[in-house]
Structure 1
């Protein structure tokens, strides 16, 4: 057992931490090495904690010490030799010494360290944690709120203790161990009421008498901080209870409901208070004050709590007290926002309506109205009437879906990045007002279709009848088209899509007006959405024509329009209503346009977007893509050679080449040289780790779609054969697909494979047999079996002997063991030997004789051992075709006239094999349909053995 080194002195610890905080890199690096050597010494982190706690030391040294303590002590805490219980108690007690720490970073880091140790010790080794924290919180809250002249240190200690409690509850709430969750529930019950009282008191003191004049004072800042921290602690406990309130007999449901009601009231108060301050023409200094920023964060935290509660169980959420008031309050703020300029709605706490506040409002409204739909109501009462729904839809379409100045500016500055964000289907929609409003509209359309569908249809009729002439009307048209696309599944039977295309959309898409690029982009997106929803149309040809036109470089277009059209074309081609004969005439224009767009795209994401569209078209076109092979190959070759092409882009290009080969089939010969280059580069250093599977897939597809090359001067994939064999013998991770590649090579031209690489191939077989797993060994033996069938023995026999592969198989069979002592492997070996015997029995016998020199055993011993296993393992062969194969091979062996084989006939083993197989054959023939009344006659077997 390794001896534990002696601990360093406190002075040594102080010096090494001081050096670690040095700005001199050499000194800091040496100190880091020393610190690593100290970590395994008893009580080291106790000394580090003492350094962090010493207020007279430089601040950067103390910060370095608390960082080292927080990062290191949890990993060593369970080591009883280094940290016995007495030292642990001292460390836990000193953690409370940071509760009056003036530096925020040190205090916050200590809070995280407390939480990490609490996760390990609570409740078994630290059962009084809740009592200790409650005592500090109670004592200091009384000093702050019950005293006429509160002590600033008490306020600081109260904030620090709440910070520690917040981190502890955050850590414990994520625990899954039953003991930990039970202890956390006890902690919640112990602290909920005192925290709720503190939260209410701090909230009232902050809100009472708040004016612009006292907004920036320290007292108001401290009170909003205390209110905020206590609320966060309460939320973590209540959320934990809410997630378990569905359990029958759970007693925390009433506490959850009561707190939710209190939170709603406080939210109304704080939100209105903040809005009122902005409406009083607040000056910039107060807007940027810490108090206002904390107030904004506090209001947003309420939204996070409401949203988290809703997401966990939206059906129960809408039944909570005052939930309906909360949802309508949020919607009222959305209505107010719609009438304000863009400057009032920013992703900042320094505006009256931060974007995150509005997105919270829309998200909560969206999921709640779905629960209030008529189909979910048990009676005829309707929470949302027709008038409200229509006003909400009108507000969304005419205000919230409009592109604003910031959108248009980003469109112009970086169109490719804008389109990536705009068409992202991830949960990012919750962070933007317009995407969030789109989801609200979709929900209203789904749940209140009888109200929403006719309204959108009427709006559409008005827009078609009155063409847009100015930029604002173009923006409104774009918003309406967005609404139609989002509700496409509801509008399929009402819109009159074919008439709309002929009357309006085609002309708008071909309009050279630069301002119409906004509508053009939305028209392309609309076509993609319409087809993606499975809506059929008789105007497919016109849709394909418009999209192909928009992909091209035309006047009044830009990268956003072209990329959107490319994606829309992919959606149309990939839809269930795709009509190939209608689309194929447009391919000679569409594919070059996509290749042109691919070459002009700047970002990797834009290029991948175009390639995905091209891949879908190639897959749908099949043989129709053959005339365009050359253009696509050239474009892919140029793109591959670009040094900035990242791994995902290269993987997309591999998919493109794979689809080309798969679609062109026997016409894919021109692809082989390009495929060979790509495959070889995928296995080069730097790419092999991430792209080897892509290369294997392409390799296999090309081989399976290749024809035998009758002209050796023409390059093909056989130049990669040595690489394939090298991978077969060395890469155990990819053995399965590599065996498939070797199988494809053998099926394509087995004699050529053996003429080129017979000996390396058999050496690779030997490596696989000795090192690989059972499944891979069986795959390899299947490949060898196929090789024996498709090539004469003159091409494989010598290599099989020289490589010692045959001798290894023979020895494993005779000794009745394989790498895994698995009979299944030996059955595969017998199957391979049977194929060899049927191919050339004389060569097989010669290989057995030659193996005597390799194995150091007499030839008669090897032959008799082989025959013993040949008979013994026959009953382990369950497949009828393989049993027949062994029976036929047995007859071939007898025909060799070998004396050992002839002598074994008298033991009746061979006859037993034949009789078993003939009996099975007779039974199978008797069970054929129509043969019931016919006598099954098996002809006699005559065996002539010439000696």
Structure 2
């Protein structure tokens, strides 16, 4: 390579790391121009391989290289990298300097870079990648072993993400060739780090083996989940899966000994445990019949660590969520449920799976799980109340999508509903008894209010399953409507929950004659100037549910429309977050669509231009603004009792 070119690129990279914009901008522009120049990526490889060069410069070199692979590595890409240069780059990316990179952050980026190329080229154009990495894993140098394992992890991750049939067959072949070796490496490093923790060895020694064990585990997870057509047909995969829960239990016990050893090591151990549960979840999801032998240990593991005091003392939140997701997955799995007619069973393992599931989930165990879900997991915790005080809008906004996979409250609710659907005859009387044990409406200590809120939450979640068990009309008239009248500050917890309950039960079992009383009950907190913002938002959402119902009668609702729209307008102005304003606007649209504007649209119309300007970077909020404007225009066209002044919208 021409030394002058190398020096020029190195100097430009140096200037591109400057904090001075006048130096930085021209250098960045020059690097962008060089992206399509032949030989540019070979120079970048030489720069990032040179450990004597400044870390920031090498970091920038690897990032430029990664961007170039994304844009120019494909054969049919404009200005594609030549095949000759690609061959040179593939050879250079596994040189000794790359495999002994001292800076972890740069080593990670190099591994990602190699995995991006591997996704395009392996194995057809890069057949020696995996053999060379396996060979490097056997090197005597610890750093080379670690970096090779890191690269192999990212390569496996990239190859596992390919979904074409030919690519999946290739990945299965790769799995067959490397699985046993990686499994032995994982066993070796896991044994060592667990033994070192129990012996009180130096933190550096524990960290070294734990990092390797975690990388091996990540590789094994991808290989096990995506590398077999039927995981239970592989002896190595079965041997691995059979020790997953034992390793997790031992690691949880060892985790206690790591407190005081530093945050990094503790977090590393927690990641190791989480990835063990991810193995179980992955197999359960994609290979349910391969998971059948694990049903009993998985359920016993979950019941112990999530529903007994001894087990819960060893856990942490993310681990608990993973265990609850395993429980939910087993309860939800179609392959584990018996059809109505036994002659419809297509797979013998379905009968075995059902029997294993029911052998652990006895009546006593199910009732215990239900009660603990309600009394412990559905209960508002200190962090929830702190968030409510600090950011009531964030607290009030419902988490949607797949948040049950990562957040404790949605996860708890999903597990409770799945359990209730599966064991309704057993659990319906249980929840009704819990409801009957609650004290009547009255100010109470905070802990008692949190207990009542948890039971109310369970009754709301199971509304459709409790249709025949609870007379909602009587409950609303004698209890819930009285709860809303108690203005004690802590009672905001119950007032909010009652609003949510009305929204959940209105379409399940509420007499048409009760609707006006429900509208009045929700309007009270919604229109109160002193009411908590989270309670108001719950009342607004419940109001939307009551009018978005098959049995909605517009004549019953019409007298409330002006007051409701006025209260919603005040709530719209009071709220600050764009998401909250969007939700409130959605409710306003619903009210106007189902009940008309009722003479209350003037203030809203005057506010909409201001809100439009406020939402310049929030497209969905602007869409909600337009939807409300459309409803107002429809009201004008119908001449519905008032003349609309379009003001700034006339043009």
Output the TM-score relative to the length of structure 2: 0.89
Q: Deviation of residue 576 (structure 1)?
A: 1.4
Alpha carbons of 1:39 and 1:650: their partners in 2 closer, same or farther (altered >3 Å)?
Answer: closer
Query: 3-state SS of the aligned residue for 2:200?
Result: coil
Give 2:609's match in structure 1, choosing from 625, 628, 640: 640
Residue 24 (structure 1) aligned with residue 20 (structure 2): yes
State the partner residue of 1:650: 622
Residue 92 (structure 1) aligned with residue 90 (structure 2): yes
Query: 3-state SS of the aligned residue for 1:444?
Result: helix
Alpha carbons of 1:600 and 1:299: their partners in 2 closer, same or farther (altered >3 Å)?
Answer: same
Alpha carbons of 1:208 and 1:510: their partners in 2 closer, same or farther (altered >3 Å)?
Answer: same
Alpha carbons of 1:464 and 1:499: their partners in 2 closer, same or farther (altered >3 Å)?
Answer: farther
Q: Deviation of residue 571 (structure 1)?
A: 0.2
State the partner residue of 2:465: 490
Partner Cα separation in structure 2 for residue 82 and residue 450 of structure 1: 65
Partner Cα separation in structure 2 for residue 434 and residue 74 of structure 1: 39
Q: Deviation of residue 362 (structure 1)?
A: 1.1
Query: 3-state SS of the aligned residue for 1:316?
Result: coil
Give 1:226's match in structure 2, choosing from 212, 217, 223: 212
Query: 3-state SS of the aligned residue for 1:211?
Result: helix
Q: Deviation of residue 100 (structure 1)?
A: 1.0
Residue 42 (structure 1) aligned with residue 38 (structure 2): yes
Query: 3-state SS of the aligned residue for 1:500?
Result: helix
Residue 52 (structure 1) aligned with residue 38 (structure 2): no
Correspondences of 1:763-778 after superposition (within 5 Å): none
Partner Cα separation in structure 2 for residue 84 and residue 644 of structure 1: 49
Q: Deviation of residue 574 (structure 1)?
A: 0.5
Deviations 1:530-582 (A, max 9, x none): 12446556522221221111211165x31111111111011001111223333
Partner Cα separation in structure 1 for residue 125 and residue 148 of structure 2: 20
Q: Deviation of residue 399 (structure 1)?
A: 1.6
Partner Cα separation in structure 2 for residue 112 and residue 477 of structure 1: 50
Correspondences of 1:773-852 after superposition (within 5 Å): none
Give 1:211's match in structure 2, choosing from 178, 185, 198: 198
Q: Deviation of residue 217 (structure 1)?
A: 2.5
Contact persistence 1:338–1:400 (CA under 8 A): no
Query: 3-state SS of the aligned residue for 2:123?
Result: coil
Give 2:421's match in structure 1, choosing from 441, 446, 454: 446
Give 1:404's match in structure 2, choosing from 381, 384, 390: 381
State the partner residue of 2:638: 666
Deviations 1:97-153 (A, max 9, x none): 21111111222222122112222222222112221111111x22xx3xxxxxxxxxx
Give 2:240's match in structure 1, choosing from 259, 275, 279: 259
State the partner residue of 2:483: 508
Query: 3-state SS of the aligned residue for 2:586?
Result: helix
Query: 3-state SS of the aligned residue for 1:510?
Result: coil
State the partner residue of 1:850: none
Partner Cα separation in structure 2 for residue 209 and residue 451 of structure 1: 47
Deviations 1:30-57 (A, max 9, x none): 2223333333333221122112212233
Partner Cα separation in structure 2 for residue 528 and residue 496 of structure 1: 16
Partner Cα separation in structure 2 for residue 568 and residue 618 of structure 1: 16
Q: Deviation of residue 219 (structure 1)?
A: 1.7
Q: Deviation of residue 374 (structure 1)?
A: 7.6
Q: Deviation of residue 306 (structure 1)?
A: 2.2
Contact persistence 1:7–1:38 (CA under 8 A): no
| Bigger CA radius of gyration | 1
State the partner residue of 1:429: 404
Partner Cα separation in structure 2 for residue 670 and residue 8 of structure 1: 79
State the partner residue of 1:105: 105
Partner Cα separation in structure 2 for residue 463 and residue 475 of structure 1: 11
Q: Deviation of residue 609 (structure 1)?
A: 2.1
Alpha carbons of 1:336 and 1:287: their partners in 2 closer, same or farther (altered >3 Å)?
Answer: farther
Alpha carbons of 1:126 and 1:33: their partners in 2 closer, same or farther (altered >3 Å)?
Answer: same
Partner Cα separation in structure 1 for residue 479 and residue 192 of structure 2: 62
Q: Deviation of residue 222 (structure 1)?
A: 0.8
Query: 3-state SS of the aligned residue for 1:539?
Result: helix
Query: 3-state SS of the aligned residue for 2:163?
Result: coil
State the partner residue of 1:239: 225
Alpha carbons of 1:385 and 1:88: their partners in 2 closer, same or farther (altered >3 Å)?
Answer: same
State the partner residue of 2:534: 560
Contact persistence 2:499–2:539 (CA under 8 A): yes
Partner Cα separation in structure 2 for residue 287 and residue 42 of structure 1: 47
Residue 616 (structure 1) aligned with residue 587 (structure 2): no
Give 1:193's match in structure 2, choosing from 155, 175, 180: 180
Output the TM-score relative to the length of structure 1: 0.62
Cα RMSD for the two superposed structures: 3.0
Partner Cα separation in structure 1 for residue 441 and residue 16 of structure 2: 73
Q: Deviation of residue 415 (structure 1)?
A: 1.1
Deviations 1:660-679 (A, max 9, x none): 444565315966651x8437
Deviations 1:664-714 (A, max 9, x none): 65315966651x84374xxxxxxxxxxxxxxxxxxxxxxxxxxxxxxxxxx
Partner Cα separation in structure 2 for residue 177 and residue 445 of structure 1: 39
Alpha carbons of 1:677 and 1:337: their partners in 2 closer, same or farther (altered >3 Å)?
Answer: farther
Contact persistence 2:171–2:227 (CA under 8 A): no
Using CA pairs below 8 Å that are at least 6 residues apart, which structure has the higher relative contact order? 2
Partner Cα separation in structure 2 for residue 666 and residue 34 of structure 1: 62
Contact persistence 1:241–1:252 (CA under 8 A): no
Partner Cα separation in structure 2 for residue 73 and residue 378 of structure 1: 50
Give 2:576's match in structure 1, choosing from 602, 613, 620: 602
State the partner residue of 1:743: none
Residue 678 (structure 1) aligned with residue 649 (structure 2): yes
Query: 3-state SS of the aligned residue for 1:360?
Result: helix
State the partner residue of 2:289: 316
Contact persistence 1:261–1:322 (CA under 8 A): yes
Give 1:524's match in structure 2, choosing from 487, 496, 499: 499
Larger mean Cα displacement after TM superposition, 254-263 or 389-398: 254-263
Residue 303 (structure 1) aligned with residue 277 (structure 2): yes
Residue 353 (structure 1) aligned with residue 315 (structure 2): yes
Larger mean Cα displacement after TM superposition, 371-380 or 401-410: 371-380
Residue 62 (structure 1) aligned with residue 58 (structure 2): yes
Partner Cα separation in structure 1 for residue 536 and residue 65 of structure 2: 55
Query: 3-state SS of the aligned residue for 1:403?
Result: coil
State the partner residue of 1:707: none
Query: 3-state SS of the aligned residue for 2:89?
Result: helix
Deviations 1:183-236 (A, max 9, x none): 32222221111111111111111112423732x432211111111111111111
Contact persistence 2:441–2:483 (CA under 8 A): no
Partner Cα separation in structure 2 for residue 456 and residue 358 of structure 1: 23
State the partner residue of 2:122: 122
Deviations 1:73-118 (A, max 9, x none): 4544456998655543332222122111111122222212211222
Partner Cα separation in structure 1 for residue 311 and residue 491 of structure 2: 26
Residue 416 (structure 1) aligned with residue 397 (structure 2): no
Contact persistence 2:224–2:283 (CA under 8 A): no
Q: Deviation of residue 269 (structure 1)?
A: 2.5
Alpha carbons of 1:455 and 1:442: their partners in 2 closer, same or farther (altered >3 Å)?
Answer: same
Deviations 1:321-375 (A, max 9, x none): 33321232123211246997xxx8xxxxxxx533211111111112213456787
Correspondences of 1:528-927 after superposition (within 5 Å): 528-533=503-508, 536=511, 538-553=513-528, 557-622=531-596, 625=597, 628-629=598-599, 631-642=600-611, 643-646=613-616, 647-662=619-634, 665-667=637-639, 673-674=645-646, 677-678=648-649, 680=651
Partner Cα separation in structure 1 for residue 650 and residue 464 of structure 2: 43
Contact persistence 2:232–2:238 (CA under 8 A): no
Contact persistence 2:503–2:545 (CA under 8 A): yes
Query: 3-state SS of the aligned residue for 2:33?
Result: helix
Alpha carbons of 1:210 and 1:457: their partners in 2 closer, same or farther (altered >3 Å)?
Answer: same
Q: Deviation of residue 317 (structure 1)?
A: 6.0
Deviations 1:592-635 (A, max 9, x none): 2222222322322222222222221221124xx4xx33x31222
Residue 469 (structure 1) aligned with residue 444 (structure 2): yes
Give 1:389's match in structure 2, choosing from 363, 366, 370: 366
Q: Which runs of 5+ in 2 are unaligned?
A: 341-349
